[in-house]
Structure 1
Amino acid sequence: MSLYRKFQKFMQLIENTSHQKLRGGYYTPPTIASFLLQWGAHGIPHPEILEPSCGDGVFIEQLKLLELDFSSFLGIEYDSEEAEKAARIILRDKKVKNCDFHEFCLTTRKKFDLVVGNPPFIRYQYYTESMQVLAAEIFKKAGMKYSKLTNAWVTFIVGSSLLLKEKGRIAFVVPADLLQVTYAKQLRDFLIETFNQVNIVSFEELVFDGIQQEVVLLLCERDGTNRRSIDHIDVKNAESLHLLLDKGMQFKAKTINKNSDKWSYYFLSNEEISFLEGLSSNENENIGRFASVEVGITTGANQYFCVPKEIVERYDLTRFANPMVGRSVQVPSLLFTQEDWLKNVDKGSRAFLLNFNSGKAVAKHKGARDYIAFGESLEIDQGYKTSIRDDWFVIPSLKLSDALFLRRNHSFPRLVLNCASAYTTDTMHRVFFKLGTDPKSFIASFYNSFSFAHAEIVGRNFGGGVLELMPKEVESIYLPYGNNSDLFDDIDVMFRAGEPIEKILDYTDQKILIEKKGFPKELVTLGRNIWRKLSTRRMRRSKK
């Protein structure tokens, strides 16, 4: 694709993006703003307060209504119209400054007792070049590395932490991504090193009107001691925050596990955390011990290369068409057979992957030439992945795998034996057995409460309540591998009969965990309850 066309597409992206999204402004519900101010100012005499992105003044209004005792309040706002609105609010010892927080952070000598607010959610590509440079400087000042995956809210938290006095607090509304996404791991490590107590408040319900973004409240305190602890509290909705205020805003002190990549652990009790840490520490019993996991085939254009029978017949592409499976609904059980694939074909599913081998292979085939020309008319050849190939229509890394693991899962994670010699796209991961691994024992061993609970922790919550796991995360899942091939057919029958997953787990937990592995029933019950707690919390997002 030419530089001019790339520029055109980028400008179109900008034009089609709302002003609200570009500036990252989603206004904080007053109840949440009130809670953050009350928590942050609690016990601090005459605090000096900073809000790094004050918008039209929601926090200022709440500060006024609460009549809190504070020394000064400084609001920073980049948007001049919003800054003007905030400035018009009458409040003593308040000042609003219309400027870029990045510049303010790097130039001010002022320190604050409390930094509070709702930082903007702006992706790197929407930053101006000057903002990108300044953001990188903030990270450098904090001893951190800046990357193009970094969202503005991360930069604002890091910068705000630099502006605190030796003893101080930050109180922010942030995306739930903080808890688990890879690009926020550096921030998680930074917060643990910077603050003595880190508290997370999450919500059962979505609290921002009109958007599906799940948020949490990040409450961090630096008190001058050497202690390091973390806690998490789950409340129903924003209105339920008053219950925390009524209880004196007391948080428990859970020990921080510095080896944990994610903070999803802290949704659990100390007993539950210890149990999962035990599973994680057993390197001889995880999926990676018995198999390797790779991403599925990257076609560069799944809708073009993955086709139904009708397209194969129309262009006479039988010699280039290979069995494939790409969606969870196409896999009815823990076993994918030739019969299952044929049913998908008959339903009109995209059950074929087109492998054109090379330019020479298609040169003498009219149907292939016509279909490739059709792809070029759609500009498939100009996509990022396709444009860098010698022949844009030749898909690399076409390896058949022994099993399949769904990249994104709904009610529970799925591991499937591939008996149909079916290819899969990047919607599923490819699983390759290591020498000595029994296929049916491997698959059957996965369907138990311990593996399911561990998968919830090592994966991440995706939009709509989906559990997403990447290859290395899949390999790390606890697997009570053993001679469980005798259970495989029973589990397959239960799946195909539409039995509830809880009933299937009742059977597999008893056979695999209790009878074969010798785990006490109380521990198995604990594992099941952990899975229920984490999956139920995640699935609540799919019902909104």
Structure 2
Amino acid sequence: MVGGSPEYSQKRSGAYFTPGDVSAALIAWVCRKPTDRLVDPSCGDGQFLALHSNSVGIEQNPVSARRAFERAPGALVHEGDFFTWAIETRERFECAAGNPPFIRYQTFKGEMRRRALKLCFDLGARFSGLTSSWAPFIVATAGLLKRGGRMAFVVPAEIGHAPYAAPLLDYLVASFSTVHIVAVRKKLFPTLSEDCWLLYAEDFGGKADAIDLTVVDEFLPGRAPPKPTTKVNLEEWRAVWNQRLRPYLLPASVRGLYAAALADPCTKRLADFAAVGIGYVSGDNDFFHLRPSDAKRLQIPSAFLQPSLRNSRAMPDKQITRATVDDWKRNDDPVLLLRLTRDQELPAAVSNYLDSSAGREARQGYKCRNRAPWYAVPDVQIPDFVMSYMSGRNVNLVKNAAGVSCTNSVHSVRVRDQALASKLLPQWSSPLVRLSCELEGHALGGGMLKLEPREAGRIVFPSTATIGKANDSELEDAIGSLQRWRHYAD
């Protein structure tokens, strides 16, 4: 072992060790000869290294690095940052395999991220600052291969939908003759919320004319990946599907109908007639949201209190009415936002609350201490509709008939074209629009569907002609299939 680094927790370092049958299958495919030199860029406790004697591993966690050395004594184990090592080494390899760490961009930061993104840029892959760690790991590893080399990795299912997966896949198809992804519905890591797929890439230095995709219900060990079920046309993948592979989990007939809807000039998207954004960020929800009983006890005047939707659990099915708000108040829910503005004259009761121990604690929070005055919550809107940010079976869109505000736990929808909204929004519960929510959103841990504002703006409202061609039963099956893939309907 060489080098050194601080000890990392499993969660922080993204280290979750691979099931033995998965690692054995990847090594069996990628290592063709005993003399093949293998590199594992994040070798953990040496599980992959132990399966092939002619191996090199890099591991930042010193405890795991020691275990790897003990488990695979014939391998060379480097302790330290992989990207630093990749920049400095002159060694090149016939093959690579592993399970790169899944560290989200909030933690994948600082000098490590700068080195990683710079190295990937030099290799021809341009990632944004919102990239999770595993994608740069794969690009940097590919850059260590000899011409004709190959690699096999466990990858997060985000390769099928995340924006940062697009530059990774673009790099792979431009660098390997074959890029093969195996989408596995049943979890490879049963105890984790994160779904994982498998990536095989062969003949480094070549160029792929398609992405081979295999869709399977569960992983079955074998010395070679299962045969592709779909050849993903690169032009269609880019132009029609916004560089996402997730639509290819569906039958070709359903994809064809949806593609036809996208090509129809009469089709509209939600962003064509409404703006979708996040609600306000208070900086301290417990302090800024009062229960009616607390507001009464503190003698806060109602003029300074704005009824607000805290989260999607409080959303009714169709619309938020005055009766809805009355129910919140009757239940003494914390739904009254202390809504104060800059240069506003404050009554004694409000000033006393701001100067209370809870107020002194709240103003120390990051959001509060970085705005002036600290107690004026910015971007408080009264949206026309409220949309669930994370959803189970269906994405909920609720009319805001009571004029409440909303936090960033839900989406604020403000209509720009009332006539078009009145015409199209009645389609919200139709199969095609619900399928669009599934396709434009993405799976989140725990079976939830997450729609970022930009994704929500892409929700499709098909033309009358497209609706006439739709087979509702087939669409319902497709919706159910995507829900099973995100484990909501398991």
Whether these two folds match at TM > 0.5 is yes
Question: Residue 371 of structure 1 is aligned with which of 353, 360, 378?
Answer: 353
Q: Secondary structure at the match of 2:199?
A: strand
Partner of 2:341 in structure 1? 357
Per-residue CA distance 1:223-244 (angstroms, 9 max, x = gap) = 665442224444444xx422x6
- Give the match for residue 104 of structure 1: 85
Q: Which residue of 1 aligns with 2:451?
A: 469
Tell me the CA shift for residue 411 of structure 1. Answer: 0.9
Q: Equivalent residue for 2:238?
A: 258
Q: What residue number does 1:381 align with?
A: 363
Alpha-carbon distance between aligned partners in 2 of 1:440 and 1:250, rounded to the nearest angstrom? 44
For 1:402 and 1:290, how far apart are their aligned partners in 2? 12
Q: Is 2:457 aligned against 1:457?
A: no
Give the alignment of 1:211-360 within 5 angstroms: 211-222=192-203, 226-237=207-218, 240-242=219-221, 249-250=227-228, 252-256=230-234, 257-259=237-239, 260-282=242-264, 284-317=267-300, 318-360=302-344
| C-alpha separation in 1, matches of 2:295 and 2:109 | 47
Q: 1:22 to 1:421 in 2, by over 3 A?
A: closer
8 Å CA contact 1:30–1:62 kept in 2: the answer is no
Distance (whole Å) between structure 1 residues aligned to residue 204 and residue 344 of structure 2:
70
Structure 1 runs (4+) greater than 6 angstroms displaced: none
Farther-moved stretch of structure 1 (274-283 vs 213-222): 274-283
After superposition, the Cα gap between the structure-2 partners of 1:180 and 1:520, relative to the gap in structure 1 and judged at 3 Å, is: closer
For the 8 Å contact 1:415–1:443, the answer to whether it is kept is: no
TM-score norm. by structure 2 comes to 0.87
2:3 corresponding residue in structure 1 = none
SS at match of 2:476: helix
CA displacement, residues 330-369 of structure 1 (integer Å, 9 cap, x when unaligned): 222122211122122212223322212335331xx12211
Match for 1:35: what amino acid?
A
Residues 224 and 377 (structure 1), Cα distance of their counterparts in 2 relative to 1, 3 Å cut: closer
Q: Secondary structure at the match of 1:253?
A: strand
The answer to whether 1:153 aligns with 2:101 is no
Counterpart mapping for 1:146-185 below 5 A: 147-185=128-166
Q: Distance in 2 between matches of 1:307 and 1:80?
A: 48
Is 1:49 the equivalent of 2:49?
no
1:35 touches 1:241 (CA, 8 Å); kept in 2?
no
Alignment CA distance shift 1:33-1:394 (3 Å): same
What secondary structure, in the 3-state scheme, does the structure 2 residue paired with 1:379 have?
A: helix
Structure 2 match to 1:121: 102
State the distance in 2 between where 1:117 and 1:345 align: 54
Question: Cα distance, 1:147 vs. partner?
Answer: 4.9
Partners in 2 of 1:131 and 1:440 — Cα distance? 50
Aligned sequence identity (%) = 25
Higher helix residue share: 1
Task: Give the gaps of 5 or more residues in structure 2.
Answer: 1-5
How far does residue 192 in structure 1 lie from its aligned partner after superposition? 3.5
Distance 1:405 1:127 in 2: 30
| Structure 1 residues 222 and 307: CA distance shift in structure 2, 3 A | farther
The answer for the alignment partner of 2:115 in structure 1 is: 134
Q: How does 1:500-511 map to 2 (within 5 A)?
A: none
Partner in structure 2 of residue 443 of structure 1:
425
Q: RMSD of the TM alignment (CA)?
A: 3.1
Does 2:469 align with 1:520? yes
Corresponding position of 1:62: 51
Is the contact made by 1:230 and 1:253 (CA closer than 8 Å) also made in structure 2?
A: yes
Aligned CA distance change for structure 1 residues 246 and 294 (closer, same or farther; 3 Å):
closer
Alignment counterpart, residue 27 of structure 2, candidates 37, 40, 43: 37
Alignment of 1:391 onto 2:373:
yes
Unaligned runs of 5+ in 1: 1-14, 65-71, 482-512
Do the aligned partners of 1:334 and 1:417 also contact (CA within 8 Å) in 2?
yes
What's the CA shift string for 1:26-63, capped at 9, x where partnerless? 21111110121123246x79533211222222113334
Distance 1:278 1:134, change over 3 A: same
| Mapped contact 2:290–2:338 kept (Cα < 8 A) | yes
**Which residue identity is paired with 1:241?**
L
Is the 2:120–2:126 contact (alpha carbons within 8 Å) kept by the matching residues of 1? yes
Q: Distance in 2 between matches of 1:449 and 1:147?
A: 34
2:175–2:206 contact (8 Å) kept in structure 1: no
SS at the partner of 2:372? coil
Displacement of 1:378 after TM fit? 5.1
Residues 81 and 343 of structure 1, relative CA distance in 2, 3 Å threshold:
closer
Cα distance in 1 for partners of 2:188, 2:307 equals 44
Displacement, 1:253? 1.9
Change (3 A) 1:226 1:293: same
Q: 1:300 to 1:85 in 2, by over 3 A?
A: closer
Cα drift, residue 141 of structure 1: 1.8
Query: What is the rounded CA distance, in whole Å, between the counterparts of 2:231 and 2:411 in structure 1?
Result: 38
Sort the Cα spacing of 1:212 and 1:399 in 2 relative to 1 into closer, same or farther, 3 A: closer
Once the two structures are superposed, what CA deviation does each residue of 1:430-452 show, in whole Å capped at 9, x if it has no partner?
A: 22222342655443221111111
Aligned length: 479
Higher mean C-alpha displacement, 157-166 vs 205-214: 205-214
Q: Any idea what SS the aligned residue of 2:406 has?
A: coil
Per the alignment, residue 486 of structure 1 pairs with none
Task: Decide whether aligned partners of structure 1 residues 305 and 287 sit closer, same or farther in structure 2, where only a CA change above 3 A counts.
Answer: same
**For residue 188 of structure 2, what is the amino acid of its counterpart?**
V
